[in-house]
Copies of this chain bind each other. A is one copy, B any other.
Amino acid sequence: METLQLTSSDWTTLLGSRFFVRLPRSTVEAILEETRLSTYEEHDVLFHQGDSIGDVFFVLSGLIRLYRVGKDRREADVAVLSKGEMFAENAIYLGRATASAEAAEASVIARIDSSKLRKIAAADPDVAQAFIEHLCHRGKMTEDMLAQDRLLTATQRVASYILSHCPNGTNTSFSFRLPFQKNILAGKLGVAPEALSRAFSTLRQSGVIVKGRMIEIHDRHALERF
């Protein structure tokens, strides 16, 4: 399903996104000139690991899961991307997608021709710089996930995830809404859904209340002690 026009809300999303936010408006417009929009339903697959990709993708709305597939079809998420995030960017230089991508919920995606973006980046140092910063950030994210997998138990990872959603100096209680299904969160954290559920149970004793997608934290310090 292809729609033609970027809505004005799409523009605010893109202009505020990590990749574009520091670039001058004219540059952004040049890059987005021939953008194509695609919409996907939940579980639609955008591409498979190893596919050669001609585009770079931006999430305008919805949620995209990047994952690798092992033998016996098991899947492991390597990233979960939401509004404003760019992905499949390294296909530009590596030639092929390093992971598969599927919509974790109904999503709208902007596609930009890779070779065009590569050319612009080669000509405009600011774009190259934005690219570099994006890759640094993404690299750090992946490194974070790897380190968490290796250093923390499932419950600790969940606690750490919750803490990462508390504003800096939260001493009193605080609550927020999970941005996606628990299923997806489990995948992102690299645990089975059942393990996530049990982790929430455990954390209940430390002042975490979970109702549907709402999370309430009453004792931040108890979480950090985990």
Interfacial residues, chain A to chain B (CB-CB below 8 A): 68, 70, 74, 76-78, 89-90, 92-94, 98-99, 121-123, 125, 128-129, 131-133, 135-140, 142-143, 145-147, 149-152, 190
How distant is the Cα of A131 from the Cα of B121 in the complex, in angstroms? Answer: 12
CB of A140 within 8 A of CB of B190, answer no
Q: How far is the CA of A49 from the CA of B149 in the complex (A)?
A: 17
B residues in contact with A68, CB < 8 Å: 143, 147, 150-151
Contacting A151 at CB < 8 Å: which of B74, B136, B138, B140? B74
Q: Which residues of B contact A190 (CB under 8 A)?
A: 149-150
Query: Is the beta-carbon distance between B133 and A132 smaller than 8 angstroms?
Result: no
Q: Are A99 and B143 in contact (CB under 8 A)?
A: yes
Question: Contacts A78-B146, A133-B93, A146-B76; is A151 near B98 (CB within 8 Å)?
Answer: no
Chain B residues closer than 8 Å to A146, beta-carbon distance: 76, 78, 142, 145-146, 149
Residues of chain B within 8 A (CB-CB) of A139 are: 90, 135, 138-139, 142
Give bound CA distance, A126 to B132, whole Å: 13
